[in-house]
Amino acid sequence: MLKDLSKLFYYRELLYNLTLREIKGRYKQTAIGIAWALFQPLSMMIVFTIVFSYFAKIQTESIPYPLFSYCGLVAWSFFSNSISKGTNSIIGNINLVTKIYFPREIFPISTTISNFIDFLISSLLFLLLAIFYKTPITPYLFAVPVIFIIHTIFIIGLSLFLSALNVFKRDIGYLVPIVLQIWMFLSPVVYPVTLVPEEYRWLYMLNPLAGIIEGYRKTILFGEMPPLGPLGFSAFIAFIVFSASYFYFKKVEKKFADVI
Amino acid sequence: MPDIAIKFDNISKRYEKGSSTIRESISKLFRGTTDQNYSTLENTASDSNVFWALKDVSFEVKKGNTLGIIGPNGAGKSTILKLLAGITEPTSGKITINGKIGVLIELGAGFHPEFTGRENIYLNGAIMGMSKKDINEKFAAIVDFAELHEFIDTPVKHYSSGMYLRLGFSIAAHLEPDILLIDEVLAVGDAPFQAKCLKKIGELKQSGVIMVLVSHNLHSIRILCNKTILLNQGNIVFYGETETAINNYTDLITKKTEVSCNEEVKFKSKVKEVKDKAEILGVEFLNSQNIRKNIYYTGEKFILAIRYIAHCKIDNPVFTLGIYSFDGTLYAGHSTALDGFHMESIEGNGTVRVEFEHIPLLPGIYEISVGIFDKEGLSPYDWHQKKYKFHVASGGSKATGLFYLPHKWIIE
C-alpha cells in the first residue's frame, strides 16, 4: 500500500488536472459559478433553523441554532457530496478507464479534493457567521486540523470502496443516496447529541461521523476539549476503512476495464 | 535481456459473458484475481459463460522494431493492446515490458468538452503521463501540428470532429514514449490528415520508437511494420514477415467470404427484378491462355470477360468497370466512354472483354463492379456493385505502396 501511495505522488499532476477538470466542469456555464457551493448548506441551514428552532424548539445550549446547524451541515455536506460523487467517479469516466492506464484511485481522490474546495468556500461563510455570533477563539482550535484529517481519511476510504463496488454492481449507485439520507439523521448534524437518550448514546456514537462532527462543534463553537473517546474511535474506524478499501481497490482495479 | 522491448509469455485472457447472480459476484469480489484455484474451478463450472479473447499467445518484440497486428474482427487484436497498455490484466501468463508506453487508442478520450484546447492539452498530457514542464516545452509543437492556433482558446465542444482528432493525435504524438501503441487511429480524419499522421508516425519510427500497430488498413501495416502477427480467434496463426502475414490474412478472408458470397447470390437471385432491356449474366476472370482463375500475380496478364444479354437493340451502350481495394477504396474506374471506345449497338447474347497487359495491383483482395449504362453513362441497364472478387498473391513483381507501376531503371 505504501508503494501505491508513493506512486500517487508521481501522478500528482494528473491528480491536480483531474481535480481542476472536475471543479471547472461543475461550474462552467453557470451564472454564479462556484458560489453554488455556498447554497446547499446555507439553504439547508435556513430550513432546519425554521423547522427545528422555531417549530420544534430544539435546545442547543449556549450556541445559536443557525451557527450550530451550519457547523454540522458544512461538515456533513463535505462527507455526503464526496461520497455520492465519489461512488460514481469511476463509472463516470468510462472513456478513460477503458483507454488509458493510470492508478484508478485518482478518480475518487480527485472527487474528494474537488469537494474539499466547496467545503473551504462554505467554511468561509461559516467564519463570517462565527464572527457575527462572536464565537470566542480558544487554543482548542488547534485540534481542528486533526479532526479534518480523520474526516478526510474516512471519506477517501469509503469513496474508494464504493466507487470500486459500483463498477461491478450498479445497485450501489442507487443505494448510496438513500443510505446517506438516513445516515444524516443518525448523525448529530442538525440536532445535539444530548437529544439522544443516555442509554442508547454508546450505540449512537458507534457512527464514526458522530465523533467527527461533535469534535468540530466542541472545539470551534464551545471552545472545549474534543470528545477524545468517540474521536479516537472515529480515527480508528477511518484508518481501518481506508486501509481495507485501498487494499480491496488495488486488488480489483485491473478488472474495471473488463467489466465497466 | 535489454534488447527485448515486449515479451508475451503464454498469455491468455478470459472474459466472462453476461452477468452472474449477486451472491456469486459478491463472493467473487472478495476473492483475488490471481487466485489460480479459483479460475480453474470456474472454468469447469461454467464453460459456456466464458469467452477466451486470447489463448496461449507468446511473442517478442525487439528494440527498434515495429509490430503489426492483423486479423478479422474479434480476433483479439485490441485485447493485446489493452494488455500492453496495462488497462486490463491477463488471466494467465506473463507480460514483460521494457520502456515507457504511449497509447494512441482513442484520440481525445480524456477531453473535457467545456475546456479550451489549451486546457485540454494540459489535461490530456497529464492523463498520458507528461509533466507540466514537458507540456510547456512541447506546447507550441503540439498546436503547430494540430494547426489550431486560432482556436486554441475555444472550448473543444465547438470544435469540428476533424479539429478534435487533430488535437488528440498531436498530443499523443508528442509524448515521446519508448513504445507506442496504435489502434486504428489512422483510419480517422480526412485524407491530408491521414497522410500527415502517417508521416509523423514514420518519423517516430525513424527516431527509434517501438510501435505496435493494429489496423485493418493493410497498406499502413505494409509500409510501417517489419514483423506482423496474424491473429484469428485468439490464436496466433502466423508471426513473421509482414508480406507473408498479409498473404495469409487475405487467404483467410477469401475462405470466409466465399461462403458468405454464395449465400448472398442465392438471396439476390430470388428477389432479382427483371431487367427489361439488358442484363449482366456474369464476369469471368481469365489469364493469357483464356483459362479461368481468380488468383493472379502482380504484373501478370489480367483479362475480365463480361457476359451480357440485351433483350432489345441498345444503341451506344457504355460498359463500366470499377476495381476496389478490400477496404472499399476505388483504385481504378474505367468505362468504354472514358476510353473513347465506341460501341455501335448490342443485341442478344454477347461478351465484352477488358484486358490488362500487366496487372499493377499488389497482393491483396480486390472487388469488382461492372455495369452497362445508357449512352450518357447516367442510368444503368444493369449494375453489379462489388459483386466479384479476385485475389492477387505474392510471387509476382515486388513493390511497396499501392501499385506496381511499369518502369525501368537505366544507368547513364
In the predicted model, is pLDDT for residue B39 greater than 50?
no
Mean pLDDT score, B20-35: 53
Task: Kindly state the helix (H) or strand (E) to which residue B215 belongs, with its residue range.
Answer: none
Q: Do B33 and A98 touch (CB under 8 A)?
A: no
Q: Which positions in chain B have a beta carbon within 8 angstroms of at least one beta carbon in chain A?
A: 15-16, 22, 25-26, 29-30, 32-33, 82, 85-89, 103, 105-106, 109-110, 112, 114-115, 119, 122-123, 126-129, 131-132
Strand, coil or helix: B312: strand
- pLDDT of res. B19: 55
In the predicted model, is pLDDT for residue B33 greater than 60?
no
B81: nearest CA in chain A?
Answer: A99
Pick among B112, B121, B122, B124 to test the A interface (most A CBs inside 10 A): B112
- Cell numbers 462556484 correspond to A34
Strand partners, B323: B332, B368
| Spatial distance between the Cα atoms of B346 and B372, rounded to a whole number of angstroms | 11
Strand, coil or helix: A219: helix
| Cα-based distances in Å from A5 to A2, A250, B206 | 5, 11, 37
Q: Do B86 and A97 touch (CB under 8 A)?
A: no
Sorted by sequence, the CB contacts under 8 Å of residue B379 that are 6+ apart come out as B373
User: Smallest Cβ distance to A99: which of B30, B109, B126?
Assistant: B109
Candidates B36, B9, B42, B37; CA nearest to B24 is B42
Candidates B230, B264, B225, B265; CA nearest to B247 is B230
Residues in chain B: 412
Chain A nearest C-alpha distance from B110 (Å): 6
The 10 Å Cβ neighbour count of residue B75 is 25
CB A213 within 8 A of CB A230: no
Candidates A225, A236, A237, A235; CA nearest to A142 is A225
Could you report the per-residue pLDDT of B314-370, keeping only the tens digit for each?
888 889 899 988 777 788 889 888 888 888 888 888 999 999 989 999 888 888 989
Number of separate helices (H) and strands (E) present in chain B = 9, 17
- pLDDT of res. B184: 72
User: What is the CB-side half-sphere exposure of residue A91 using CA atoms within 13 A?
Assistant: 19
* pLDDT band, residue B218 (cuts 50/70/90): confident
Could you report the per-residue pLDDT of B92-113, keeping only the tens digit for each?
999 998 888 887 777 777 788 8
Candidates B18, B362, B178; CA nearest to A259 is B18
Q: Does A174 touch chain B (CB under 8 A)?
A: no
- DSSP character at residue B325: E
Residues in B closer than 8 angstroms to A248, CB to CB, are 29-30
Chain A nearest C-alpha distance from B90 (Å): 9
Strand, coil or helix: B112: coil
- pLDDT of res. B202: 83
Each residue's pLDDT, cut to its tens digit, for chain A (260 residues) gives 778 888 888 888 889 888 988 888 888 778 887 888 888 888 989 999 999 888 888 888 788 999 999 999 999 999 999 999 999 999 988 888 888 888 899 999 999 999 999 999 999 999 999 999 988 889 999 999 999 999 999 999 999 999 999 999 999 999 999 999 999 999 999 999 988 999 999 999 999 999 999 999 999 999 989 999 999 999 999 999 999 999 999 999 888 988 87
User: Smallest Cβ distance to B89: which of A165, A169, A254?
Assistant: A254
- pLDDT of res. B106: 72
Q: Which of A122-126, B156-160, B252-256 comes out lowest in average pLDDT?
A: B252-256
Strand partners, B4: B62
Q: Do A165 and B88 touch (CB under 8 A)?
A: no
Chain A nearest C-alpha distance from B225 (Å): 23
Mean pLDDT score, B7-31: 69
| Spatial distance between the Cα atoms of B357 and B369, rounded to a whole number of angstroms | 20
Sorted by sequence, the CB contacts under 8 Å of residue B122 that are 6+ apart come out as A17, B132, B135
- DSSP character at residue B109: T
Give me the sign of the Cα torsion angle A31, A34, A35, A37.
positive
Cell of B335: 468505362
Amino acid at B321: L
First-to-last CA distance in chain A? 24
Q: Does A101 touch chain B (CB under 8 A)?
A: yes
Q: Which of A192-196, B72-76, B216-220 comes out lowest in average pLDDT?
A: B216-220
Per mean pLDDT, which of A234-238, B114-118, B144-148 is the most reliable?
A234-238
In the predicted model, is pLDDT for residue B38 greater than 50?
no
- Report the mean per-residue pLDDT for chain B: 81
Chain B nearest C-alpha distance from A129 (Å): 35
First-to-last CA distance in chain B? 49
Cell of A139: 487554543
In the predicted model, is pLDDT for residue B36 greater than 60?
no
Could you report the per-residue pLDDT of A118-156, keeping only the tens digit for each?
999 999 999 999 999 988 889 999 999 999 999 999 999
